[in-house]
Amino acid sequence: MSAELGIAAGVVDLVRRTAGADAEAEVLVTRSDLALTRFANSFIHQNVAETGVAVHLRLHVDGRTATGSGSRADADGLAALVERTRAAARLAPPDPAWPGLTAPTATPSGPAVDEATAFASPDERAERVRAFVDAVDGLEAAGYCRTAYRSGAFANSAGHTAAGSAAEAAMDGIARAGAADGVARLCADRLADLDGAALGAHAAAKARAAADPVELPPGHYEVVLEPAAVADLLQNLAWFGFNGKRYAERQSFAEPGTAQFDPLVTLVDDPLHAGTLPFDLEGTPRRALPLVEAGTTRAVAYDRRGGAAAGAGSTGHGMPGSATFGPIPHNIRLLADPGVADAGATVAAGPVSAGVTGAVGDPDTAALVAGMRRGLLVSDFWYTRVLDPKQLVVTGLTRNGVWLVEDGVPTRAVRDFRFTESYPRALGAGRVLGLGRAPVRLPGRVDGSWYEAPALRLSSWHFTGGASG
Amino acid sequence: MSEFDAATAAVQAALDAGARYADARVMHRRYESMSARNGDIEELSQDESIGLGVRALVGSGWGFHAVPDLSDAAARDAGRRAAAIATASARVPGPPIDLVPAEAAVASWASECAVDPLGVPLSDKGDLLVRATATMREHGADLAEGLYQIWDTTKWFVSSEGHRIDQHIRECGGGISATSIGDGETQRRSYPSYRGQYGTTGWELVTSLDLAAHAARIAEESRELLTAPQCPAGETDLILGGEQLALQIHESVGHAIELDRILGWEAAFAGTSWLDLARLGSLRYGSELMNVTIDPTIPGALGSFGYDDEGSPAVARDAVREGRWVGVLAGRDSAAVAGLDYGGSVRADGWARLPMVRMTNVGLEPGPHTLDEIIAATDDGVLMDINRSWSIDDKRLNFQFGCEVGWEVKKGRRGRMLRNPTYTGIGPAFWRSMDMLSSETVAWGTPNCGKGQPGQVGHTGHPAAPARFRGVRVGVRA
């Protein structure tokens, strides 16, 4: 039994002894070792590490529910957590919609944990920063290298237990050539798979290609979105569309069973694909959840409460705050259509022979760009916010490089744009002109959250103004 | 072992391991939140967290380590690890780091609090939210939501320069919102603000909001918005309510004057700033009506404290005076790099997070008018209030904001309600267009300011009053 499972089981036992046999309790204990080395102006300016334990208790007693959490795992700390959560539950209102506890269920294994990543030294992170900074070759560099390890255990008073661990490494950096930035970003299971020099060289090439941008008029443009920009689409679709609570409240565009996207779009929330604990806050085993299959919306995410109300059951998306904000998929993959992947470059909308330049950066994107008569290549999106949640109309800006593409070739760097666009509409039937074949895993803002996508070619994106005025 | 003892042990261990400066902060925070929806309590959550974070400077490299353990052994180990991390930073070295001089303070400070928010019975707090959300449902809201949050934080700070400061800061606030769902769109009205109003004060703030009294009105307005005409697209005079202006200040002034952004330290993530330090003191930021202060001493405002997380005392200073940029938000190291002589704006959102440059209370001094006078003086324009969406570029220049509600202003009168109002512009041009400013100031609290990696949530305050801006682009649509 792991130390975390021992703590979780101990809290369940403490609840049973103090609140009675009828009390229902679920406990998640997570130990974390997180470290992040941050650089700017080509030197390490922040360098942090933390070791922590979080104990999360949800208690349902006498028909009432309360949640408590704490950072202390010693006997006094756990006793205090149980006592204050019991006190809160006594004063809470009746909870007739309590969904009950997860029954004893087998928990899948997540990906193997790379110990070298889990407990990497600050020197190992600094080495990759050194390589990134050296590779930008005189440009200014900024970004981070992080490693994360979480060991978690769950126990509830219905006799269900689960345990698992996860590790992740990520690097995210820009190179700056005057006012032009180029970006390289990658999330991996192993720190060894992060090549600081390769990422730095990629960012530098893009920054140099972004120099001397011109202003273009606002309007609707065909676009190729690089994976970093596609990740923003996936994140907003997840928060506001595939969120089971928003769906139940008719605030989501999602309509399961309906063809809402282009047939090229297949989205799956796939937490076991990489560095995430194999169960959720409620102990529900995680599994792959097809959200969109060949353009047809298939599912939304649920925690136990939402899943019970919908008659669908939990999809393993219980999380802190899901009772309020709703359950949100955090591990979405945009898949290339299998037929497309097998067929070579045909649906990638152009021959790879267009070549790779600093602006394009990789053959996968080059294939999409090569098929575009006139449009824009977009590296990244920034500060996207929802104007209309139901139609998922989003405003935001481009960042880290935009280029005008003419007859399949990037011809000029372009100044950043502001856009206003409905994400489901932009991905609608007939609007997806091509998918790349090489997905890239992009790190979320916290470990365990990631989005994986290839580059994406869309027939239209509404740019509403230039960022410079 | 006392909290001060743990912090002292961590600092000493860092020094013993080679640090030339170290500080440590023990932080104990109790957090409580409750949300209600449609007349029922939705979630009640309580969190208690305590731990120690130690920061070490070795040569010109920083290191930080945090642990949830205040034992002597754990504290000393954290100090040693912070020094080791700082040593690793030297593998990619930068320019020499200094700290602007600070007087070693030995002090205690506590925020004002008439009614302890954690002492108010949960049942009373729940009744408040249940009553308000039930009323909104009765008046037509499809979704009626209410929320309060409470933070009760005690900190013990020790530095190798002799600081020894403890602070007890109590913050709370809340609000309600009504959402109406129509055919293909949703409309929302909130009171008193998007996410509510917050302050460094006691439960008396929430009581004074009288949430239930406003529930029926906002529910009815949310339904009315579903059939209101769209905000027209074009260029017009724009009158902003104080709550929206607070966010405008936050995004297009507060973040822009953060010295770490100006120096490029946030370049890859939060972004930089359009401001150039060479023009500090001379740059025209806005019209002569624009007087922005940085003031963590405002009683009850959400960005108030006694000492920041480097031990610098709270001091008020100017950021923009008569439209001219004159001050920044700084820490001791960033100020030294920039050649300035003050810090005082460095905070962390928990024991496990590195203190960094954060807004305190960044606010606009009041003007001579009232909102009614501004409306009366406007021949053709739009009045917008209560933020709905916010987006600004990485240099803090180009922004687009959406508000929950707008109203036509024609010939000096407030006219029809307008739905989906948005406006967009470029910071300095927008601020230069401000020509009327109200005296009706409220210090709006923002409890959700995100910055930093690993991410941190900051609490900031923004005194603001309604104001008018000439020739602004409104009504941008997909």
| 3-state SS, one letter per residue, for chain A | CCHHHHHHHHHHHHHHHHHCCCCEEEEEEEEEEEEEEEEECCEEEEEEEEEEEEEEEEEEECCEEEEEEECCCCHHHHHHHHHHHHHHHHHCCECCCCCCCCCCCCCCCCCCCCHHHHCCCHHHHHHHHHHHHHHCCCCEEEEEEEEEEEEEEEEECCCCEEEEEEEEEEEEEEEEECCEEEEEEEEECCHHHCCHHHHHHHHHHHHHHCCCCECCCCEEEEEEECHHHHHHHHHHHHHHCCEHHHHHCCCCCCCCCCECCCCCCEEEECHHHCCCCCECCCCCECCCEEEEECCEECCCECCHHHHHHHCCCCCCCCCCCHHHHCCCCCEEEEECCHHHHHCCCCCCCCCHHHCCCCCCCCHHHHHHHHCCCEEEEEEEEEEEEEEECCCCEEEEEEEEEEEEEECCEEEEEECCEEEEEEHHHHCCCCCEEEECCCCEEEECCCCCCEEEECCEEEEEEEEEEECCC
Interface test with A, best of B85, B98, B142, B222 (most A CBs within 10 A): B85
Closest CA to A450 of A183, A171, A177, A211: A171
A131: CB partners within 8 A, 6+ apart = A195, A196, A197, A200
Please list every residue in chain A whose beta carbon sits closer than 8 Å to the beta carbon of residue B426: 468-469
Residue B256 and residue B275 in contact, taking contact as beta carbons nearer than 8 Å? yes
Does pLDDT of A349 surpass 60?
no
**Does any CB of chain A come closer than 8 Å to the CB of residue B88?**
yes
Q: Give CA B38 to chain center in angstroms.
A: 29
Interface test with A, best of B33, B34, B45 (most A CBs within 10 A): B45
SS3 B156: strand
Pairing of strands A450-453, A440-443: antiparallel
Q: How far is A352 from chain B (nearest CA, A)?
A: 31
Burial of residue B321 (number of CB atoms within 10 Å: 0-12, 13-18, 19+): middle
Q: Give CA A256 to chain center in angstroms.
A: 22
Is the Cβ pair B45, A69 closer than 8 Å?
A: yes
Is the Cβ pair B91, A38 closer than 8 Å?
A: no
Is the Cβ pair B186, A464 closer than 8 Å?
A: no
Tell me if the bond preceding B192 is cis, omega within 30° of 0: yes
Confidence of residue B1 (pLDDT cuts 50, 70, 90): confident
Q: Which of A138-142, A362-366, B336-340 is predicted least confidently?
A: A362-366
**Does any CB of chain A come closer than 8 Å to the CB of residue B336?**
no
Predicted pLDDT at B194: 87
The partner residue sitting opposite B50, judged by closest CB among A41, A72, A144, is A72
Pairing of strands A219-225, A296-297: unpaired
**Does any CB of chain A come closer than 8 Å to the CB of residue B372?**
no
Establish how many alpha carbons lie within 13 A of residue B262's alpha carbon, considering only the half-sphere containing its beta carbon.
24
Question: pLDDT tens for residues B352-361?
Answer: 999 999 999 9
Predicted pLDDT at A93: 85
**Distances in Å between the alpha carbon of B332 and those of A142, B166, B309, B450?**
21, 19, 11, 21
**Does any CB of chain A come closer than 8 Å to the CB of residue B130?**
yes
Q: How far is A346 from chain B (nearest CA, A)?
A: 32
User: What tokens does B139 get?
Assistant: 């008046």
Interface test with A, best of B92, B97, B128, B258 (most A CBs within 10 A): B92
The β-bridge partners of A32 are A52, A150
Please list every residue in chain B whose beta carbon sits closer than 8 Å to the beta carbon of residue A53: 68
- Closest chain B residue by Cα to residue A320: B45
- Mean pLDDT, to the nearest integer, of B449-464? 97
Is the Cβ pair B389, A385 closer than 8 Å?
A: yes
Q: How far is B361 from chain A (nearest CA, A)?
A: 23
Residue B450 and residue B349 in contact, taking contact as beta carbons nearer than 8 Å? no
ipTM of the complex: 0.96
- Mean pLDDT, to the nearest integer, of A240-255? 97
The partner residue sitting opposite A48, judged by closest CB among B142, B354, B476, is B354
Predicted pLDDT at A355: 52
CA dihedral B156, B160, B162, B167 (to 10 degrees): -10
Q: How far is A316 from chain B (nearest CA, A)?
A: 19
CA dihedral A67, A71, A74, A78 (to 10 degrees): -10
Predicted pLDDT at B477: 85
- Mean pLDDT, to the nearest integer, of B173-189? 95
**Does any CB of chain A come closer than 8 Å to the CB of residue B68?**
yes
Predicted pLDDT at A344: 39
A327/A321 Cα distance (integer angstroms): 8
The partner residue sitting opposite A144, judged by closest CB among B49, B263, B453, is B453
Total number of residues shown for chain B = 478
Is the Cβ pair B92, A324 closer than 8 Å?
A: no
Please list every residue in chain B whose beta carbon sits closer than 8 Å to the beta carbon of residue A72: 48, 50, 68
Question: pLDDT tens for residues B12-21?
Answer: 999 999 999 9
Chain pair A-B, CB pairs under 8 angstroms? 254
- Mean pLDDT, to the nearest integer, of B296-301? 98
**Does any CB of chain A come closer than 8 Å to the CB of residue B86?**
yes
Predicted pLDDT at A337: 57
Percent helix, strand, coil in chain B, to 5, is 25, 40, 35
Is the Cβ pair A43, B40 closer than 8 Å?
A: no
Question: pLDDT tens for residues A149-164?
Answer: 999 999 999 999 999 9
Question: pLDDT tens for residues A381-399?
Answer: 999 999 999 999 999 999 9
Predicted pLDDT at A350: 34
- Closest chain A residue by Cα to residue B421: A387
Predicted pLDDT at A342: 42
Q: Look up residue A231 and give its amino acid.
A: A
**Distances in Å between the alpha carbon of B369 and those of A126, A352, B375, B466, B467?**
56, 64, 10, 9, 9
Question: pLDDT tens for residues A14-56?
Answer: 999 999 999 999 999 999 999 999 999 999 999 999 999 999 9
Q: For residue B55, count other CB atoms closer than 10 A to its CB.
A: 30
Is the Cβ pair B48, A72 closer than 8 Å?
A: yes
Residue B278 DSSP code: G
The partner residue sitting opposite A122, judged by closest CB among B88, B264, B267, is B88
Establish how many alpha carbons lie within 13 A of residue A88's alpha carbon, considering only the half-sphere containing its beta carbon.
27
Does pLDDT of A352 surpass 50?
no
Predicted pLDDT at A341: 46
Is the Cβ pair A385, B391 closer than 8 Å?
A: yes
Please list every residue in chain B whose beta carbon sits closer than 8 Å to the beta carbon of residue A466: 398
Is the Cβ pair B92, A43 closer than 8 Å?
A: yes
**Nearest-5° angle of CA B18, CA B23, CA B26?**
130
Burial of residue B299 (number of CB atoms within 10 Å: 0-12, 13-18, 19+): exposed
Q: How far is A342 from chain B (nearest CA, A)?
A: 36
Please list every residue in chain B whose beta carbon sits closer than 8 Å to the beta carbon of residue A174: 267-268
- Closest chain B residue by Cα to residue A467: B398
Is the Cβ pair A323, B81 closer than 8 Å?
A: no
**Nearest-5° angle of CA B79, CA B85, CA B89?**
140
CB < 8 Å from A in window 433-462 of B? 453-455
Closest CA to B120 of B79, B87, B150: B150
Does pLDDT of B243 surpass 70?
yes
The partner residue sitting opposite B391, judged by closest CB among A37, A91, A396, is A396
Is the Cβ pair B398, A418 closer than 8 Å?
A: yes
Predicted pLDDT at A357: 78
CB < 8 Å from A in window 389-418 of B? 389-394, 397-398, 400, 402
Q: How far is B351 from chain A (nearest CA, A)?
A: 10
Question: pLDDT tens for residues A55-100?
Answer: 999 999 999 999 999 999 999 999 999 999 999 999 888 999 999 9
Closest CA to B99 of B261, B330, B282: B330
User: What tokens does B346 get?
Assistant: 């460095």
- Closest chain B residue by Cα to residue A466: B398
A129/A145 Cα distance (integer angstroms): 7
Q: How far is A43 from chain B (nearest CA, A)?
A: 5
Question: pLDDT tens for residues B194-204?
Answer: 889 999 999 99
Predicted pLDDT at B409: 98
- Mean pLDDT, to the nearest integer, of B238-264? 98
A353/A367 Cα distance (integer angstroms): 8
Confidence of residue A230 (pLDDT cuts 50, 70, 90): very high
- Closest chain A residue by Cα to residue B86: A47
- Closest chain A residue by Cα to residue B145: A324
Is the Cβ pair A143, B391 closer than 8 Å?
A: no
